[in-house]
């Protein structure tokens, strides 16, 4: 019997340090590819199948991308990270079915959020 393939997660993060750190935090859970912008993320999404997306709300256009994925039938597990969650942003994230994480956070919080998202991954994003 073949081992189950590792899930692939797209990490969208504009901060260089966080873009290096987040993949290290979840490397036990998944193969991680990174994008520093929504434009770069779209290019990856067009060419690679992802099981989940981990994205910073600080990246311009990230919520619009999440909506595009949903309306295009490519919705999947989404983990959104933000230093602050307004009521409106929290409602919007909830409507998208996203797992939310507030920054600053412990690594264990990100690990748990990604695990929760992957556990409910019905299909791969592509």
Per-residue pLDDT of the chain (126 residues; tens, 9 = 90+): 666 788 999 999 999 999 999 999 999 999 999 999 999 999 999 898 888 999 999 999 998 998 888 776 565 688 999 888 788 888 888 888 888 888 878 889 998 899 988 887 654 444
Q: Sort strands 8-12 and 31-35 into parallel, antiparallel or unpaired.
A: parallel
Residue 72 pLDDT:
67
Q: What is the CA radius of gyration of the chain?
A: 13
CA atoms of 23 and 34, how far apart (whole Å): 8
CA atoms of 54 and 12, how far apart (whole Å): 6
Would you tell me how many other CB atoms lie within 10 Å of the CB of residue 1? 3
Residue 119 pLDDT:
86
Asked if 59 and 37 count as a contact pair (C-beta separation under 8 A), the reply is yes
CA atoms of 24 and 16, how far apart (whole Å): 13
3-class SS at 118? helix
Instruction: Note if the bond before 23 is cis, omega within 30 degrees.
Output: no
Residue 33 pLDDT:
95
Give the chain's domains with CATH numbers: 8-119 (3.40.50.2300)
Give the global pTM: 0.86
The helix or strand, by DSSP H or E, that contains position 51, with its residue range, turns out to be none
CA atoms of 117 and 98, how far apart (whole Å): 8
């Amino acid at each position: 019997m073949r081992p189950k393939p590792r899930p692939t997660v797209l990490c969208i993060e504009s901060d260089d340090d966080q873009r290096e750190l987040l993949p290290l935090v979840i490397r036990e859970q998944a193969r991680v590819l990174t994008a520093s912008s929504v434009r770069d993320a779209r290019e990856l999404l067009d060419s690679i199948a992802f099981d989940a997306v981990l994205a910073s709300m600080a990246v311009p256009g990230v919520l619009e991308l999440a909506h595009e994925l949903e309306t295009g039938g490519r919705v999947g597990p989404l983990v959104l990270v933000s230093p602050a969650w307004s009521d409106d942003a929290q409602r919007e994230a909830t409507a998208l079915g996203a797992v939310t994480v507030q920054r600053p956070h412990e690594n264990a919080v990100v690990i748990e959020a990604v695990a929760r998202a992957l556990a409910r991954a019905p299909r791969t994003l592509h």
